[in-house]
Amino acid sequence: MDRFDRLWLTNPTLAYADWQAREAAGVDRRPFSARSIVQHEAMFERFRRHLLAAGVTLATFGSDHIDAFWQAPEAECYTAATRMRYLKLLDRLCRHLVAIGVREGNPAEKLVRDGQWPQDDPLPIFLPEDADGQLQAHVQPHAGDDLAAIRSRAIVAFFLGTGVTVAEGRSAEVADLQPAAAPPYLHVPAHGAPDARTVHLDAFAVPILSAWLVRRATLPIASDLLFSLKAGGTPITEMSLGKIVRAALETIAFEADDMSPRILRNTFCRRQLLAGRSSEDVSKLMGLVSSRTCDRIAATRISVGA
């Protein structure tokens, strides 16, 4: 095992990024797109953190650790298609690790073989207009809110009022958010394939985001991240974001199969479509490379009588 192969055990994140850049390819043997590479690295990081918490390495994890991954709080909203994408990634990874002598077997092989891609895409989940309005009211500033309450309202308003992804929200910096501009906006830097873009804030989100920036400026945080509260400036975790969104939805008595920030992104998308914007325009606004997601959400306007 040479020094590059040992890197899988000493610095898995760096090893995976290097492998993706040099060798990894899809079933047609064509290199992955820049967007796919970003997505794969994010998926790998989630699984790596799961293994780290379980006290195992890329050389020693088994199928039981893959099964346990689906039980993690941040994975509870994964669709059947998302699980298959993870299994394909892990199968591809483990075959490589076996080939270079880091592993002795591939625990994902049988899981991929037994798994099936869903025949139909699941219907997108979003907040109905009345629930959207209730959540918009919930995130307004409240007198007497402590630091945690202000931050939670601001986080929910941020995702509901901008439609950004969790990754974009976690990496957003204070300077990216400009609620006092005319019109108020969020700058979303380029992440992989999607270009940088500007998202105009929905009006309901401006008061609480402005209040959060005022409070955020008083905190001794060694970071420019918008929603970091720790002194070291580390990003807020996906699990924490999920808990905050779920708690807000429970406050307005809304329940759905997906209670993650994704439902807020879908709701933002549908709100823009109902306002008369085209699927193509909304897709660009959300940093999507195609209008497929927006087209599916647009179709729900007919099914629910909007």
- Is 30 in the same domain as 147? no
Asked whether residue 120 is assigned to any structural domain, the reply reads no
- Is 160 in the same domain as 213? yes
Q: 210 lies in which domain range?
A: 129-303
**pLDDT tens, 206-233?**
999 999 999 999 988 878 999 987 766 7
Asked whether residue 167 is assigned to any structural domain, the reply reads yes
pLDDT score for 292: 78
Quick check: 194 pLDDT over 60?
yes
pLDDT band at 3 (very low <50, low <70, confident <90, very high): low
pLDDT score for 238: 85
Asked whether residue 121 is assigned to any structural domain, the reply reads no
| Tokens matching residue 57 | 């390495």
Q: Are 268 and 124 in contact (CB under 8 A)?
A: no
| Tokens matching residue 73 | 């709080």
2 dihedral zone (left: phi>0; alpha: psi -120 to 50; beta): beta
Q: Which residues contact 250 (CB under 8 A, 6 or more apart)?
A: 259
**pLDDT tens, 144-155?**
899 999 999 999
Asked whether residue 276 is assigned to any structural domain, the reply reads yes
Domain of 62, CATH number, reads 1.10.150
pLDDT score for 73: 67
The torsion angle over the Cα atoms of residues 171, 173, 179 and 181, rounded to 10 degrees, is: -120
Q: Are 103 and 171 in contact (CB under 8 A)?
A: no
- Is 148 in the same domain as 287? yes
Asked whether residue 47 is assigned to any structural domain, the reply reads yes
Question: 210: closest CA among 139, 132, 134?
Answer: 139
Listed residues 114, 141, 169: the one ending a domain = 114
Domain of 227, CATH number, reads 1.10.443.10
**What proportion of the chain, given as a percentage, has pLDDT over 90?**
56
pLDDT band at 304 (very low <50, low <70, confident <90, very high): very low
Question: 48: closest CA among 83, 9, 19, 81?
Answer: 9
- Is 293 in the same domain as 144? yes
Burial of 10 (0-12, 13-18, 19+ CB in 10 A): exposed
Which run of H or E residues covers position 177?
strand 177-178
Q: Which residues contact 285 (CB under 8 A, 6 or more apart)?
A: 163, 197, 199, 272, 277
Listed residues 114, 140, 161: the one ending a domain = 114
Listed residues 114, 146, 174: the one ending a domain = 114
**pLDDT tens, 67-125?**
999 887 667 667 777 888 899 999 999 999 999 999 999 999 988 888 765 555 667 88
**What proportion of the chain, given as a percentage, has pLDDT over 70?**
87
Q: How high is the mean pLDDT of the chain? A: 86
pLDDT score for 213: 96
- Is 64 in the same domain as 162? no
Asked whether residue 244 is assigned to any structural domain, the reply reads yes
- Is 256 in the same domain as 175? yes
> Parallel, antiparallel, or unpaired for β 185-188 and 197-200?
antiparallel
Number of domains in the chain: 2
**pLDDT tens, 109-133?**
988 888 765 555 667 889 999 999 9
- Is 101 in the same domain as 182? no
Asked whether residue 48 is assigned to any structural domain, the reply reads yes
Question: Of the ranges 94-103, 245-254, 296-305, which one carries the lowest mean pLDDT score?
Answer: 296-305
pLDDT band at 267 (very low <50, low <70, confident <90, very high): very high
Question: 250: closest CA among 158, 135, 114?
Answer: 135
- Is 166 in the same domain as 276? yes
105, 106, 107, 130, 207 from 5: Cα distances, Å: 16, 17, 19, 55, 52
Query: Can you tell me the distance from the alpha carbon of 213 to that of 141, in angstroms, rounded to the nearest whole number?
Result: 12
- Is 220 in the same domain as 81? no
- Is 156 in the same domain as 294? yes
Half-sphere exposure of 26 (CA within 13 A, CB side): 10
Place of tokens 């899809």: 26
pLDDT score for 250: 94
Q: Are 152 and 209 in contact (CB under 8 A)?
A: no
Asked whether residue 86 is assigned to any structural domain, the reply reads yes
CA 73 centroid distance within chain: 14
- Is 202 in the same domain as 258? yes
- Is 164 in the same domain as 108? no
Highest mean pLDDT among 20-34, 109-123, 191-205, 292-306: 191-205
